[in-house]
Amino acid sequence: MIGWLPEIALGLTCNSKNTGSTMTTLSGPTNDLLHKFPNLYEKVFTVSTAPTCVDLYQSRCGSLPRTTLDIGSGPGRELADLAELGIDCVGVDFVPMMIEYAQKSYPKVEFIQGDMREFRLGRKFDMITILGACINYMLENSDLEKALATIRAHCREDTIVIVEPYNTSSFVGTNVPPTEYAIPDGDFKAVGSATYEWSQKEQLIRRVRTWRFSEGQDDIQDTYKQRLYFAKELQYFFEKNGFSVIDIVEHQQSKIYNKSLFLLATPAS
Ligand SMILES: C[S@@+](CC[C@H](N)C(=O)[O-])C[C@H]1O[C@@H](n2cnc3c(N)ncnc32)[C@H](O)[C@@H]1O
């Protein structure tokens, strides 16, 4: 029986051979529990990237941006933090549930549903951010180039673009990706155990994660597929698509992942 997640009608239910219990396998635009229930996302990923973005921007420009576009804005926390500083913020995300949740939580920020490979807002921004490995949803080179055209279309000549891709060393270097995710409290208390497969040929990682809940809910399995980009590879694509790369830096950003990578770019003159 399915417990308190009725919207899991989006998913498939099957019997798990390992546990003998019923397992729900999520499907939909992204197969991730945390995308279907954005309130849970912020319980797992507790650190806002906004202060890092402000520091990176200010260290180059000496002042705060007046306007920011966040692509793949998710539950909206980063933009809410930036809006508190008086910055005019717009967020775009692919998943309608993320947009709905973000708009309800942070009414002062404008959130718009759109695909980074194609949306055009007809506006330009001082700072454009793509955080939390959103860029890694661009599985093919052609997807990445379309996303770069979108970013370029929203740039003035002095716009600073801040991208936080996965730090690929977390997957194929000496570091390791997280194997345990926790929803620490509330009705949805759970632990997610993850395994990863790496395809060298496609440069894709596939994560399979099983969520076990503290009570009253069948296990849920979610999966994702993301492209890994090496830093120099991303730099190449940015430079090929009309940008100058200003810097590539590492920060200890979240407790779950090893050091985050940030690539800073500006339109090429
Ligand atoms: C891991 S979340 C990151 C959320 C937030 N930026 C953060 O740093 O916490 C990735 C987000 O990218 C969004 N996304 C995935 N593909 C996208 C696309 N093609 N266009 C726009 N957003 C996309 C997902 O819906 C999701 O909200």
pLDDT tens by residue, 24-72: 776 555 678 888 888 888 888 888 999 999 999 999 999 999 999 999 9
93 lines ligand 1 (CB under 6 A): yes
Q: Look over the chain and give the mean of its residue pLDDT values, rounded to a whole number.
A: 87
120 within some domain? yes
CB distance 131 to 53 below 8 Å? yes
- The predicted pLDDT at position 160 comes to 98
Question: Do the domain assignments include residue 1?
Answer: no
Same domain, 104 and 156: yes
Q: Whose CA is nearest to atom 9 of ligand 1?
A: 132
Q: Same domain, yes or no, for 134 and 74?
A: yes
pTM for this entry? 0.89
pLDDT in tens, 147-189: 999 999 999 999 999 999 998 888 877 777 888 888 888 777 8
Structural domain span for residue 176: 6-37+171-227
Q: How far is the CA of 225 from the centre of ligand 1 (A)?
A: 13
pLDDT at 4 over 70: no
Asked if residue 162 has its Cβ within 6 Å of ligand 1, the reply is: no
Please state the rounded mean pLDDT for residues 125-148: 96
- CATH label of the domain that carries residue 104: 3.40.50.150
What spacing in Å lies between the alpha carbon of 70 and ligand 1's midpoint?
Answer: 10
- Domain membership of residue 45 (yes or no) is no
Asked if 126 and 16 sit in the same domain, the reply is: no
Please check whether residues 17 and 135 belong to one and the same domain.
no
Q: At what angle do helices 50-61 and 77-84 cross, to 10 degrees?
A: 50
Assess whether 130 and 259 both reside in one domain. Answer: yes
Judged against a pLDDT cut of 80, whether residue 117 lies above it is answered with yes
pLDDT of residue 171: 82
Residue nearest to atom 1 of ligand 1 (CA): 132
pLDDT of residue 50: 96
- pLDDT tens digits along 185-215: 877 788 999 999 989 899 999 889 999 988 7
Is 68 among the domain residues? yes
Count the domains in the chain.
2
Q: Is residue 43 part of a domain?
A: no
Q: Is 76 close to ligand 1, i.e. is its CB under 6 Å away?
A: no
Does residue 113 lie within any of the structural domains? Answer: yes
Residue 11 pLDDT > 50: no
Same domain membership, residue 15 and residue 139: no
Is residue 196 domain-resident?
yes
Q: Does 75 score more than 60 pLDDT?
A: yes
Q: Tell me how far the alpha carbon of residue 86 lies from the centroid of ligand 1, in angstroms.
A: 24
